[in-house]
Structure 1
Amino acid sequence: MKKITLTVLLFISSVVLFAQQNNNYSEMNNELKLNMSNLIGFKWLDVGYERILNEESSIGFGTLISLDNNVDGLDEYRTFSLTPYYRHFFSNKYAQGFFIEAFTMVHSGKFDDYYYDDYYYDNYDPSLKDHKYTDLAVGISVGGKWVTRRGFVAEIYAGIGRDMLDNSDIEVVGRGGVSIGYRFQ
């Protein structure tokens, strides 16, 4: 866990150090981000890349990896997800401000299922088995993004999606967090 986090932090630091200082936003079209709320709250490494298409739209993807398989709480079942998205911004500033996002999420994980053998009523004993799954969700998010003159990015967003393949008992997935990152050429 420490090696993965250190590697990501070193990579982001190297991008920041070697990126050109440029205040022309139309030439700064790439962003790398780390979702800090998922890292702190759920022990998930959630790294994202976003490509700015023009002043009001972008595409990107996020990759989420669980660093602790024994986490209880919201989305405790998810261990991996890959989430491509499209964002449309509603602001006079270049690719920042309020946005609406459409996303798809390929996610996998495991959860516990109880199986009951009621053939013998006297020996009624539920048994617990792990169930692994992979599913595809489609959803929408809303949020806001702020960018400093030197390229520092902060964003907050929340969204919800519906699973389409019915490979698990999970019907709805969440997406959200508070991310920090850097915009560069």
Structure 2
Amino acid sequence: MKKITLLLLLFITTISIAQEKEEQYPQDIDKKQEVKLNALGILAFEWLDVSYEYLINEESSFGVGALINLNNDRDLDEYRKFSLTPFYRRYFSNKFARGFFVEGFGMLHSYENNNYDYYDMYGNYINSNNGDTKTEFAVGISVGGKFISKKGFTTEIYLGVGRNLGGDNDSLEAVGRGGISLGYRF
């Protein structure tokens, strides 16, 4: 009986020691929040685009981004003056909230609608530049990837497109979302 008990204890000990431990990274332990700055937005478009993300679990998160146009003089920037973008992400990696993700987002945005091109009833081409500011809401989807250092610094690359809801004939039909963001997980 003692031999059977000894063998049973030895077997249980061997199994418990042989269990593969899940590797814990310092950036994954009790760190559920991230702040990020879109470096591409600042360098290419002169947009200040910052975001906050809360990690729900290892597979999902939600957050919000805010974009402010710092320079209204360039033609490329005129379509967005401000945006507030809540989002939900789902990660498809076996590591904690990193790797490939798909994101659903909503975007409340305002833009300057400068040009109306049309023909009047006499066939004359009219191009008016009245600078109306419009505020609209869009929903969309993005895909991307997130990389995290052992010290908690994050880099993510993402690209998405959304469709404006409502609006009129002069409204933008679609909005873009994308960037290369640098941040920190804490």
Moved over 6 A (4+): none
**Is the CA contact (8 Å cut-off) linking 2:27 and 2:151 kept in structure 1?**
no
- Give structure 2 stretches of 5+ with no counterpart: 1-24
Residue 76 of structure 1: how far off its partner (Å): 3.0
Aligned with 1:99 (options 98, 101, 113): 101
Name the counterpart of 2:150: 149
Q: Choose the corresponding residue for 1:83, options 82, 85, 88.
A: 85
User: In the comparison of the two structures, how many residue pairs are matched?
Assistant: 161
Shift of 1:24: 5.4
Q: Which residue of 2 aligns with 1:162?
A: 163
Residue number in structure 2 paired with 1:176: 178
**Which TM-score applies when normalising by structure 1?**
0.80
The answer to whether the aligner puts 1:28 opposite 2:31 as a matched pair is yes
What residue in structure 2 maps to residue 50 of structure 1?
53
- TM-score of the superposed pair, with normalisation by structure 2: 0.80
* Structure 1 contact 113–129 (Cα < 8 Å) conserved: yes
> Structure 1 residues 115, 99: CA separation in 2 closer, same or farther (over 3 Å shift)?
closer
Return closer, same or farther for 1:62/1:117 CA change in 2, 3 Å cut-off.
Answer: same
Q: What is the CA RMSD across the aligned residues, in angstroms?
A: 2.1
Q: What is the rounded CA distance, in whole Å, between the counterparts of 1:173 and 1:117 in structure 2? A: 27
1:43-87 deviations in Å (ceiling 9; x for gaps): 0000000000000000001000000011222x5311000000000
Q: Unmatched 5+ residue regions in structure 1?
A: 1-21
Which residue number corresponds to residue 110 of structure 1? 112
Q: Contact 2:35 / 2:184 at 8 angstroms: preserved in 1? A: yes
Give the greater-gyration-radius structure (CA).
2
* Percent of pairs with identical residues: 52
Q: Match for 2:44 among 41, 45, 57?
A: 41
